[in-house]
Structures are given as structure tokens and as C-alpha cells.
Amino acid sequence: MNLIISQCRGKKSGVGLACGVLFALTALGSQSSIAQSIPVPVQVVQAQSSGAVYELDGIIQPVKQSTVSAQAAGRVASLLVKPGDKVHVGQILAVIDDREAAVGVQRSQAQIQQADAELRNARAQVERTRDLQRKGFVSQAALDTAEAQFKGAAASRDVASASAQQSSIAQGFTRVTAPYDGWVLQTHAEAGDLAVPGKPLMTVYAPLPLRAVVQVPASRLPVVRAAIQTQVQVNAEPGASSWVVPVARSAVPSADPVSQTGEWRLELSSKDSGNLLPGQQVRVRFSLAQTSAAFSKLVVPQAAIVRRGELTAVYVATNGSFSLRAVRLGADLGARGVEVLAGLQSGESVALDPVRAGFAKAAPATSPASASK
């Protein structure tokens, strides 16, 4: 192609039709290659000095939540509740096949009757022996033997009574009851399943009190410990946001080995948590003293955020193109942008026009260094 173009340029006059078409195609191809490249403005993400407020996402959890398990072995004869049902303390939640336990109770009752009969016979024997001993017809040794037999029969009666009580308790274990007033959160078995001691049958919880649980990154634990005030956003609806102060807060003295986070529990009053549900997401704000040193945050512009359902992401410039990367967002800093908790590193460049950055031929408009603000 280059050889043909040079030959066409070598002609002094009367350029042929073929050369004219060739130059036109060459010009169109050059314009097409330029049009294929879509410039997208970018901005370098850098750590910025933050104020004395640190926000994280938290989850509402019930303070009282129990996994109800079976204490007796057998088939689940019936499950009397389902998720969402309200239960009262002592209410029967499930029934386990108690035929074996009923046989044990019957055997214990028979043992009690046998022990009663032996005890009556031993009592009568000791009374007769005592009367004969007073009249001199039997020795003291015979009386001692009769009294020992009477005491043995009384002990056997006590053993039979205890065995009957144990059998009755075992039969009672076939009736699974609610430990307190609350709601059924989840069931883990169905009628016909095999129940064994320790196997979970259902999960129940008390609606009040509730608490907000937040996972704090290990790098931010000193900031949270130094906070002079902690607030929980109990209603995140537009125009109805309400921040409340928990009645107590505590930290679990351990860190998750995988996520490297520490758990903080913020107890909420009944008045503040009346409209909350377990599993609901809330915002937690830790306020530092004004004299405390500010910490840095990675901040991206609002325009760079891509929201697709539950996914939040940004387009990151890499080797002259863009790749979509999921990020975890933190506090909304208004005109400054949005805090990024995970997914980005300082010095990376993000697209300011995510719609154009999603095109196949999108490329950074300028170098990351010159695009920083």
C-alpha cells in the first residue's frame, strides 16, 4: 500500500482515478481509527485528610437469640410453628416421637409398685420380729436382720421413685418448648426428620432489646476506641434520617483472622429500636474530639461511582483501558466525594464518566498524573 501511494505521489499531473480513490480510502481509514478511540477524563485517587467523623455500615442483631435443639432422640412427629410465628414462653414448638420414653415411664411405674410391695412386706416383718424379740422368742440378731431388710426395701423404693422421675423428665424432652416470648426466625428441621440431642430444630429471638453490630477494620480500631460519641442511624429513609446514641457499647476482644476486623456491639434502647428488624443495615458514626489528629481517607468523586443493583464499582484506568472494579463505600462526604473503604489504592486513576468508560474503545483522556485534582 505504501508503495502504491508513493507511485501516485510521483506523478506530476493528471492523477488517475485509481490514485484518487486510494487517497480517499486512506483518509477515511485514518478518520475511522481516530473515531474508535473514546477519550474519558480520569482522576487520581489520593488519600485525603478527614475530619473527626468516621462512619461504617452495621447490622441489627437481637440481643436474645437462641438455637432451640432437641434433648431426646427420635423422629420429629410434628412441627407446630413456622418462621415468622410469635411464640410465648413454655409454648410447645415441636413434638418428638415419645413411644420409647412412654415405655420407660411405664417400666418405672411398675418398679415403684414392686418396691412398694417389698417395702410393706419388710415393714410387717420387722414389726413381727420386734414383737417376738420382746417376748424372747427370737434373738437380737434376727431383729437386726429384719430392720436391715426394711431399710433396704425403703432404699429400693427411693431408687424406683428417682427412676420414674428421670423417665418422666426424658418424656418431657420430647416436647420442645419456647425459652422466652419472641418470634421464630428460622426452622432447621421438618416433620419426619431424625432428631438427636444437640441437633438444631429452630431459631427464636426476642424482638427487644436490639443492638447494632459493626465490623471495624483493624487499622481503624484506635480511632473507634478514641471516639467520644457513637451514633446509629436508625432510619435511613430520605428526609427522615435519625441518629441515636446507644445506651452501651462494647468490643469483642478478638479479631477475625480472615477479614482482619474487630466487632463492636452497640446496645439500643427499646424506644430507639422499635421500628428496626434483625438483619437490617444501618449506619454507625464515631465522632472524635476536635483536638484529635485527623486520619486519611480514600475519596472518589460521586460521578465516578457505578451502581448496579447492590453492586458499587468504579472504572479503573489500567494500561490505556478501563476495567470495572467493585468497591466498598463508606461515608458520603458531600461535595468532596464518597469514601472508599476497600477496592482501591491511593494513586490509581478512576473514570469520571463511567458510561463512556464502559465502551470497548474507551481510553484515558490524559495521563493519570495530569488528570489529578
pLDDT in tens, 169-186: 877 788 889 999 999 998
- The DSSP element (H or E) to which 62 belongs, if any, is strand 53-62
> DSSP for 229-288?
EEEEEEE-STT--EEE--SEEEEEEEE-TTT-EEEEEEE--TTTTTT--TT-EEEEEEE-
What is the pLDDT at residue 212? Answer: 92
Cα pseudo-dihedral 156, 158, 161, 162, rounded to 10: -110
At 359, is the secondary structure helix, strand, or coil?
Answer: coil
CA distance 173 to 153: 31
Cell of 49: 485528610
The pLDDT profile of the chain, 373 residues, written as one tens digit per residue, is: 444 444 444 444 444 444 443 344 344 444 444 456 788 888 888 877 665 677 788 999 999 999 998 888 888 888 899 998 999 999 999 988 888 777 888 888 888 888 889 889 989 988 888 888 888 888 888 888 888 988 888 898 888 888 888 888 877 788 889 999 999 998 998 888 888 888 899 999 998 889 999 998 887 888 788 888 888 988 755 455 688 889 998 988 888 888 888 899 999 988 888 788 888 888 888 887 654 445 667 888 888 888 887 788 999 988 888 888 888 887 777 777 888 878 888 888 888 888 888 888 888 886 544 344 4
> DSSP for 299-336?
EE-GGG-EEETTEEEEEEEETTEEEEEE-EEEEE-GGG
Report the chain's terminal Cα–Cα distance, integer Å: 45
CA distance 363 to 349: 12
pLDDT in tens, 63-119: 999 999 888 888 888 889 999 899 999 999 998 888 877 788 888 888 888 888 988
Domains and CATH numbers, the chain: 39-49+296-371 (2.40.420.20), 54-62+209-287 (2.40.30.170), 76-97+174-205 (2.40.50.100), 99-172 (1.10.287)
Does the model's pTM come out above 0.75? no
